[in-house]
Every structure is written in C-alpha cells, then in structure tokens.
Structure 1
Amino acid sequence: MPQNAPSHTLCHTPRVSTMPVGLTPDRLGWSTQRRITAMTQPVLLVTRDGSIVTLTLNRPAVRNALDLTLARALESTARELARDQTLRAVVLRGAPPAFCAGADLTERLSLSPDERAAHTEAIAAAVEALADLPVPTVAAISGACLAGGAELALACDLRFADTTARIGFPEVRRGIFPGAGGILRLPLLIGPGRAADLLFSGRTLDAHEAYQIGLVDRLCQPDQLDDAIAEWLSELRQAAPGAVRAAKAALRRVLTTDAVTLADIRSLRRTLDASPEYEEGLQAFAERRLPHWALE
C-alpha cells in the first residue's frame, strides 16, 4: 500500500450535492450540454457547472469503447478546454455500466493495418490532449477500465474509483501492447515491477488491489463516488487558481514522458498493428475464443 494511503480501504465521505446538469448556456457563457455525434448517437457529453467541466464517454452499449469518432471528439474537446482560462478542473467518466473498455475492437476488425494504426494514433492523441490540460483532472472510474480506457485514466491527475471498478491492460492477450502512453505512465505510478506484472500478463485488477498498489487514489462504495469527487472539488475551489495551474505545470515537468521515447513506443505499436498476432487476436475476439499463438 502506498505510504500516504489510509489504513482503511473504503472512503466514507459526507453527503454533498453532486454537480448539477442542465444549467443554461446564457448563465454559463458556455455550451452546457454539448453533444458531439456520430450519426444520431451522442458519443461525448460535456457538462459545465461553473468552473468545473465533466466529460462523459457515452457509448454505453459497448461499455464506452473508443471508436474513431469518440477519440477525435475527446481530443478536440480537451484541446478547446485547454484554452479556457476560467476552467478549474475536468472530471472524466463513462456512462454506466463502465468507464471505458478500451478501443472498439469490433470497429478494428473492418480496418486495414494502416487504418488500425490511425485508430491507435487517434486514441493516443486523445490521451495526450487529456494529459496536457493545464488544470487538475479526475477520472471517475466505475465498472470496466481497460486498455485504452485505463490509459485515459492514467492520463488524469487523480483516479477515484468505486468498488465495481476493474482496471487492466489486456492488450498483450490480443497481440499488441498499450500504445497511448500508458506503458510510460504506469511504472511512474506503481513502480516498474508491478507495471511489468500488469503489462506482461494482461491480467485485470479488482478495485481493492488497484487501490492497494496505488493505481487508484480514492476508493468508495458505488453510491459515494460522486460525493467523494464533489468533496474534493470543494477543497480545490479553496486554492488559488493560478497557483494550482503552476503546481500542475511543475508536476508535469517532474513526471514528463520523453517525446522521443513515446515516438519509439508508437513506432513499435504500429508494427504490431500490422502483425499476424494482432490479426489472430482480433479474430479470436470476434469469434469469442482464446487466441492461438504461433509458439504454442
């Protein structure tokens, strides 16, 4: 357990009001419920409560899997938010029942290797845009938080989870590895040994183990997650906005991910996007079976 972790596993926070939805744009000077759509389906919801913005991944039928449309919407929205000087914090969550199950593998089945690489790059761009936000970011994790979804969570400054959360990097079980910076961020967060365990095995952690190793910062009962985040945001509002932005910029310098190393990792990942192993991994996913690797 991290040194700064409390001895108890679950947080018990007082009941406070959660962030309201539906404030009018004329009151906020910003689009309260901005919908970015693919056809008629809204894939990203943006809700603003004063200086706090909540981004909700909204593809619940596929556990908020990241297709190209959602990845690009998330990137463009994060880039836009980065220019907003009135912003204090961003909360990222998924529409129930999950946070995000990772890349949309069903979509990838129909893509060429070059198109798969472009899909990977789009997710990586969304992750980097989230990481580049100059204000504190909080991942509100409930349910599945896997692969690219876990990389989104790692790009946030804090990870609040409820006891239904399941977090993992199962990419190696599909013939690839995390390609959106998670392979750099994970060892900084939990250490190289634990990172190797998760990245090499592809196993999934339950919420309690994720909290114990420091992958999750706050663990709550499902009905307490919103309140725990609201309480933390209330504490944040007591801090000077400029000082918080400066502190985050300084922290990023300490925890920076080397651009050259990141480019090398993406090059390795592009090679795997065109590999026979990844093709077998995708086919196994489509056929709901275990993959058959050449060395076995």
Structure 2
Amino acid sequence: MIELTKADGLWTVTLNNPQKANALTGAMLAELVDIAEAATEARALILTGVGKVFSAGADLDEARAGLATSDLWERLSGAIAALPCLTIAALNGTLAGGANGMVLACDLRIAVPHAKIFYPVMKLGFLPQPSDPVRMAALIGSARTKMILMAGQKITANEAYQFGLIDRVVEPDQLMPVAHDLVADSLSADPRIAAGIARMCR
C-alpha cells in the first residue's frame, strides 16, 4: 500500500491503495513516518499516489477509533518539513483530511487539473493537527485557511494555484515528468549546498 523506490538519491513514495481512495490506516501512517524519518539520506523526495485520488485522509473507521488524534500525523509532517532535501508533493488527484499535513510540509506542491483540496475536520468533530493550519495560513493566509477548515469549502486545483496552495497545475501524463524536472538540479548539486539553501529558505 506504501511503495518506496530509491534511484540516484531520489526517493519516491507512492500511496497505492486506489480501491480505498488511498485512505490512510494506522499501519500505513506508521510506515510513512518510518520512511520520512529515514529520508535524511535522500537528495530529493517525491510524494505521490495511484488512481484518481491522492488520499482521502484517514480511514474513517480507524479515525473514529482514535487515529484522527494520533501523534503519527505530526511526526510525519514534522519529519518531512525537517528534511534537508527538496520535497515535492505530486498530487495525482484529490487531497482530503489529514493527508493535507504531509503535503503542506513539502517544499513544493503540483497537482493535476481534476484535483480538489478539502479538509472536513470540523464537520467530523476533530481538531486539525496543530501544524496544519499554521503551514496552510503561511501559504494562503488566515481567511482562506478558514474557508477550507471552517467553511468546509472544496478548492479546485486552479483555485489552489491562484491562492498559492499549489505551485503548478499539470496534465496527468506530465505530473511525474514535471516532478522529476523540479528535483533535477537538487539531485545533481552538492548535497551540502542544497541543504544550506533549504535552511536559508525556512
């Protein structure tokens, strides 16, 4: 369900459970945390999914059983945000719920045109993970963050691009080629220089 490939310093993490809209179980989330915490040796990381949905967020049954408030979400987003390499979320489709955290923690976000972004945490009776509103507001401002978190709005890929939540909108067949193009300079650079620039940009 979580696939990891490593090639010449590039780590590609793929959510591969399209039959369940790549909803995250506790086991999947723990595996993602392990990967992110080990990725300090990567020179670039791409996070993507299989199917028409990037991730529906937490598996609802497990969310109600306690996964929604697990510290694994913060560990995952914190580990991604702390990586010294360039990190890219390549959204193959809709991004929902708690899956927003790991995407917000990435350096860059690209998405296909049919992708939508929403985070219905309030409707489900939970608070978002603490860092999610902070990172979202840093990108798009407080009002638009409240539009997503409190007004429950589904944002299209083009709206997200206009807001600054998505950095590029690309056709599905160009999603991974564009992601690979974006990490190319980092893969060929001195890792110390790349890590230094990452620190300076924080």
TM-score band, normalised by shorter chain: over 0.9
Residue 16 of structure 2 aligns with an amino acid whose one-letter code is N
Secondary structure of the corresponding residue to residue 55 of structure 2: coil
1:225-251 CA distances to partner (integer Å, 9 max, x unpaired)?
Answer: 111112212233353321110111222
Contact 1:101/1:145 (<8 A) preserved: yes
User: For 1:93-104, what aligned pairs fall within 5 Å after superposition?
Assistant: 93-104=48-59
More strand by share: 2
Contact 2:50/2:92 (<8 A) preserved: no
Residue from 162, 173, 176 that aligns with 2:123 = 173
1:53 aligns with 2:8: no
Residue 174 of structure 2 aligns with an amino acid whose one-letter code is Q
Match of 2:90 in 1: 140
Match of 1:105 in 2: 60
Contact 1:66/1:123 (<8 A) preserved: no
Secondary structure of the corresponding residue to residue 65 of structure 1: coil
Residue 245 of structure 1 aligns with an amino acid whose one-letter code is A
Contact 2:118/2:152 (<8 A) preserved: yes
Secondary structure of the corresponding residue to residue 150 of structure 2: helix
1:155 aligns with 2:97: no
Inter-partner Cα distance in structure 1 for 2:85 and 2:170: 24
Inter-partner Cα distance in structure 2 for 1:108 and 1:102: 9
Contact 1:123/1:180 (<8 A) preserved: no
Contact 2:10/2:187 (<8 A) preserved: no
Contact 1:142/1:161 (<8 A) preserved: yes
Inter-partner Cα distance in structure 1 for 2:16 and 2:75: 19
Residue from 185, 191, 198 that aligns with 1:241 = 191
Contact 2:58/2:67 (<8 A) preserved: no
Contact 1:99/1:143 (<8 A) preserved: yes
Inter-partner Cα distance in structure 2 for 1:48 and 1:116: 29
Q: 1:169 to 1:228 in 2, by over 3 A?
A: same
1:79 aligns with 2:34: no
User: For 1:190-201, what aligned pairs fall within 5 Å after superposition?
Assistant: 190-201=140-151
Structure 1 position 171, deviation (Å): 0.9
Secondary structure of the corresponding residue to residue 103 of structure 1: coil
Inter-partner Cα distance in structure 2 for 1:223 and 1:63: 20
Q: How many pairs align?
A: 202
| Structure (1 or 2) with the larger CA radius of gyration | 1
Inter-partner Cα distance in structure 2 for 1:204 and 1:79: 31
Inter-partner Cα distance in structure 2 for 1:100 and 1:180: 20
Structure 1 position 123, deviation (Å): 2.0
Residue 175 of structure 2 aligns with an amino acid whose one-letter code is L
Contact 1:63/1:144 (<8 A) preserved: no
Match of 1:125 in 2: 75
Q: 1:116 to 1:99 in 2, by over 3 A?
A: closer
Contact 2:91/2:112 (<8 A) preserved: yes
User: For 1:244-255, what aligned pairs fall within 5 Å after superposition?
Assistant: 244-252=194-202
Q: 1:204 to 1:227 in 2, by over 3 A?
A: same
Aligned-residue Cα RMSD (Å) equals 1.6
Secondary structure of the corresponding residue to residue 12 of structure 2: strand
Residue 44 of structure 2 aligns with an amino acid whose one-letter code is A
Structure 1 position 132, deviation (Å): 1.8
Structure 2 segments unaligned to the other structure (5+ residues): none
More helix by share: 2
Identity of aligned residues (%): 33
Structure 1 position 59, deviation (Å): 2.1
Structure 1 segments unaligned to the other structure (5+ residues): 1-42, 253-296
1:64 aligns with 2:19: no
User: For 1:214-229, what aligned pairs fall within 5 Å after superposition?
Assistant: 214-229=164-179
Match of 2:136 in 1: 186
Contact 1:177/1:199 (<8 A) preserved: no
1:85-125 CA distances to partner (integer Å, 9 max, x unpaired)?
Answer: xx21000011212211111112234x2xxx446x5312222
Inter-partner Cα distance in structure 1 for 2:168 and 2:189: 20
